[in-house]
Amino acid sequence: MESSSRVGKLGFRRAQTVRTHPASARSRVLLENSSSTRDSDPNYESRESLNSSNFVGTCPDMCPAKERIQRERLRDLAVFERVNGNPGKTSPSLAVKKFCRTLSSNEVHSSDLRPTLVLQNTLKYLLSLMDSSEHPFEVVHDFVFDRTRSIRQDLSMQNIINEEAIEMYEEMVKFHIISHQRLARHRSGPEDSSSLHYLNMEQLTKCLLSLYEVYDINRRLQFINKHEMEFHSFYILLHIGYKIPIMKESLSLWFRHLSSPILHSKEMRFARTLLRYFRMGDYKRFFGILETEASQLQLCLIEPFLNEARVQAISCINHSGYKLQPYPLEHLSEVLMIKEQELESLCCKCGLEVITDELGCKLLPVKQSSFHHPKSDIESYGLTSSDKFHSSLPRPDSSSNLQVNSSHGGTALF
């Protein structure tokens, strides 16, 4: 247990006791600044002694004063950090600590690290920026992406693994999922947005894996977090997308070490079933189950992968259909939960021709040999519910009530 009564510049009182579990002294959390995990770390023994000597941060502001002054001097300030747009002037209420890749443990001082309460408030502030419409989304994302990574670094170096840490990791996962959805909607060719999207998926995965470690440590001491089931399901759903190298183990191996209550939860069953349909190529039931069983966050996560599922379906129908009976687009768009015009556009991107019959209905002739996978990344099309009026499901990106609540009342999402 630690406590202190120092009052920082922003008026945050650090009188809060940070609850650390007895196991924390000897627990390992993935260190942000190293690419190797503890498993393959040759300096295993020394890493252990670092963690057990528990750094306790004393920095009262979102950014350590030393860094703030240095970056002012170097004019290295993001747009959000500038006072009145001045690239050489910032303030304690605007500057946020940057992620530092090359940090080694001997260079770090307690005054550089932010304690739990400061981290919570920093995160709250960063997530509030997601609502800002002043700047293009990519700019906001980039800033929040980097600064939340620094938050994770601070959490890791201080070995903070309590409920507050869990809440923060969960909020950061949510941030990555929403960015995942939004970045995919805007992507259409330019290299930048594609790599932003990929890098975001990478950090989403890293953040999830760190979160699972903290869940595990807490569970050893009999605390099961109420969001664990849903957050575990995200890892399965990520496998519908392309495989990222950081997912070292196959999913089968990951399952072996999960506890039963998690494996059998509703959220996990849904994710496993969805993955099964995807791998089988069963497009009908894939979209069917999405409509009825996915949670909002799960939908956000899956959305950028939907077009891949649709392209597979189109490929399948084109291959197996009857040459003399072109497939009606209206029906297919209902099955694939996409707007008819978007479907037509998708078919074109696959090199397929769409024809119109005498009644004005669009049809997809099958057995076209010109089919190919879309040549560049396409923007994602969301889920369109299959009622007669083809109205879209409420799109979650406009509101972003991402809040970090210090209480355990759960966090409001949308």
Smallest distance, Å, CB 302 to other proteins?
A: 19
Would you count residue 50 as binding other proteins (CB under 8 A)?
no
- For position 49 contacting other proteins by CB under 8 A, the verdict is no
Note whether 325 binds other proteins by CB under 8 A. yes
Query: Which residues, other chains included, contact 99 with Cβ-Cβ below 8 Å and sequence gap of 6+?
Result: 32, 146, 147, 149, 150, 153
Residue 243 touches other proteins, criterion: CB under 8 A: no
Contact 183, 138 (CB under 8 A): yes
Sign of the CA dihedral running 180, 186, 192, 195: positive
Q: Which of 1, 3, 11, 22 binds other proteins (CB under 8 A)?
A: 22
Instruction: Kindly tell me which of 132 and 250 has the beta carbon lying closer to other proteins.
Output: 250
Interface pick for other proteins out of 109, 276, 375, 408 (rule CB under 8 A): 276
Contact 236, 268 (CB under 8 A): yes
CB of 286 to other proteins, least distance (A): 9
Residue 308 CA to residue 304 CA, distance in Å, equals: 8
Does 13 bind other proteins (CB under 8 A)? Our answer is no
> How many other CB atoms are there within 10 angstroms of residue 47's CB atom?
17
Restricted to residues 328-367, the positions that interact with other proteins (CB under 8 A) are: 328, 331, 335
292 binds other proteins (CB under 8 A): no
Helix axes 137-157, 116-128, angle to 10 degrees: 170
CB 147 within 8 A of CB 363: no
User: Interaction with other proteins in 97-156: which residues (CB under 8 A)?
Assistant: none
Place of tokens 């399901």: 233
Other C-beta atoms lying within 10 Å of the C-beta of residue 261: 12
Nearest distance from C-beta of residue 246 to other proteins, angstroms: 11
**252 binds other proteins, rule: CB under 8 A:** yes
Asked if residue 221 binds other proteins (CB under 8 A), the reply is: yes
CB of 170 to other proteins, least distance (A): 23
Pairing of strands 327-328, 362-364: antiparallel
Give 35 or 106: the residue with its C-beta nearer to other proteins.
35
For the packed helices 266-280 and 228-238, what is the interaxial angle rounded to 10 degrees? Answer: 10
Whole-number minimum distance, CB 356 to other proteins, in Å? Answer: 16
Of the candidate residues 320, 369, 370, 407, the single one contacting other proteins (CB under 8 A): 320
Part in contact with other proteins (CB under 8 A); list of ranges 36-44, 290-298, 395-403, 406-414: 36-44
Q: Which is nearer to other proteins, 96 or 309 (CB)?
A: 309
Tokens representing 359 are 């009644």
- Applying CB under 8 A, which part among 81-89, 274-282, 295-303, 379-387 lies near other proteins? 274-282
Least distance to other proteins, CB of residue 279, Å: 7
| DSSP line for 13-67 | BTTSPB---GGGGG-----TT-SS-GGG-TTHHHHHHHHHT-------SSS-HHH
Both ends of the chain: CA-CA distance in Å?
35
Q: Does 220 bind other proteins (CB under 8 A)?
A: yes
Closest CA to 239 of 256, 258, 254, 257: 254
Q: For residues 152-181, which are near other proteins according to CB under 8 A? A: none
Q: Based on the shown chain and the rule CB under 8 A, indicate whether residue 48 belongs to the binding site for other proteins.
A: yes
Smallest distance from other proteins to CB 262, Å? 11
- Of 335, 364, 361, nearest to 348 by C-alpha is 364
Region binding other proteins by CB under 8 A among candidate stretches 182-190, 197-205, 225-233, 315-323: 315-323
Span near other proteins by CB under 8 A; candidates 39-47, 108-116, 170-178, 227-235: 39-47
Q: Does 38 bind other proteins (CB under 8 A)?
A: yes
Contacts of 353 (CB under 8 A, 6+ apart): 347, 365, 368, 370
| Piece of the chain touching other proteins by CB under 8 A; list 4-12, 63-71, 109-117, 326-334 | 326-334
Separation CA 275–CA 205 (nearest Å): 17
- Is residue 255 involved in binding other proteins (CB under 8 A)? yes
Q: How far is the CB of 351 from other proteins (least distance, A)?
A: 18
